[in-house]
Amino acid sequence: MTRGAAVLFAALLAVTGCAGAEDPVTPDDTFTNPVHSADSPDPQAFLVGETWYLVHTNAGGANVPVLTSPDLVTWTPAGDALPTLPAYADPGRTWAPEVIALAEDRYVMYPTVADRASGRQCIARAVASEPAGPYVDSAAGPLVCQADLGGSIDASPFRDTDGSLYLLWKNDGNAIGQDTWLWAQRLTADGLGLTGEPVRLLKQTEPWEGRVVEGPFLWRQDGRLYLFYAANAYDTADYAEGYAVCDGPLGPCRKGPGNPVLASKGAASGPGHASMIVHKGRTWLLYHAWPKGAEGAVSPGRQLWLDEVTWADGRPTVHGPTDTAQPRP
């Protein structure tokens, strides 16, 4: 064993706490970010059976590219989940899709699409019987479209512990020089409609957030409801991830201390627009980041990163960005 290999081996033993000879750590037990080196911005992952599915913003000629993985580390392209756009949408700006499973044969996706009538980006809803699609939106128009507020993007569905469904999104105010707000509204049981009134949760107020907040999602942990969100200019090293704590899915929400919880570090620049999952009892954050020095570049674009999240005293800690070998999920 070379000196460098010995140092790495000792470090991995220290991280895992497994220094005994009965359970040694080997290179096969580790992974190194990024876990997918191709352009995969705004990722969201969900588990069906023993397979992880991940959808992300348009790339590589696909409206909604799909990746699959058995372990969150090895990802394989699996086609286009939305091969045909809704009749009211134009191609080219199909962003930040997220999926929720409402039954074994019913999946609803909420992509951002370019709405032809308003000239803004708006939120669609599309249904499939299989997790990888094809998803179909046969509606006459978008589900959410705040055209006077710059449009509506970055939708995220949430199922609360009582089974009630909600949709979060961002009004695209920065597109027209207005404030950006994160919004929430109750979804109907079929996931295809909205009920009640939309509620504003929070907007950009802190220096690290710059002029925009976006990419929201809700997460329940240890009796608390957390709102995670990205902020600042997406194509710069200032882009980062923060959180708030909410009384309920419709708020009110209070920004947490210690923000941002994920920021540029090492080889990762502008990390954010994340999704969170649990695998084998551990919490993980999937997010995109630019290679350092390649912010805004078409190639390789925003790559897929994976890091663990732990919780203490009501606060999340994201152990990343990590660009050295670490134990697999």
pTM: 0.91
- If one compares 133 and 15, the residue with the highest pLDDT of the two is 133
User: Are 123 and 144 a contacting pair, CB within 8 Å?
Assistant: yes
**What DSSP assignment string belongs to 22-47?**
TS---GGGEE-S-SB-S---S-EEEE
- Together in a domain, 19 and 108: no
Report helix, strand or coil for 71.
coil
Q: What is the pLDDT of residue 27?
A: 66
| Cα separations in angstroms, 309 against 140, 199, 216, 284 | 41, 28, 17, 5
23 and 54 in a single domain? The answer is no
65 and 13 in one domain?
A: no
On whether both 9 and 157 belong to a single domain, the answer is no
Q: Are residues 199 and 57 in the same domain?
A: yes
CATH number for position 281: 2.115.10.20
β-bridge mates for residue 279, sequence order: 282
Tokens read off for 113: 């699409």
Same domain, 4 and 64: no
245 with 141, same domain: the answer is: yes
Mean local confidence (pLDDT), 38-62: 98
Give the model's pLDDT for residue 71. Answer: 97
pLDDT of 316 > 70? The answer is yes
pLDDT digits (tens, 9 = 90+) for 3-47: 444 433 344 334 344 434 445 545 679 999 999 999 999 999 999
**Tokens describing residue 220:** 């329940």
Same domain? For 21 and 156 the reply is no
Specify whether 107 is located in the same domain as 193.
yes
Residue 240, strand partner residues: 231
Instruction: Say how many domains are in the chain.
Output: 2
Range of the domain at 144: 34-327
Give CA torsion, residues 284, 287, 293, 295, to 10 deg: -170
Mean pLDDT of 244-264: 98
Whether residue 176 sits in one domain with residue 158: yes
Q: Is 277 exposed, middle or buried (0-12, 13-18, 19+ CB in 10 A)?
A: buried
Whether residues 115 and 19 fall in one domain: no
Residues 264 and 141 placed together within one structural domain of the fold: yes
**DSSP annotation string for 252-316:** -EEEPTT--SB--BTTEEEEEEEEEEEETTEEEEEEEEEETT-TT-SSS-SEEEEEEEEEETTEE
CB-based contact 304:320 (threshold 8 Å):
no
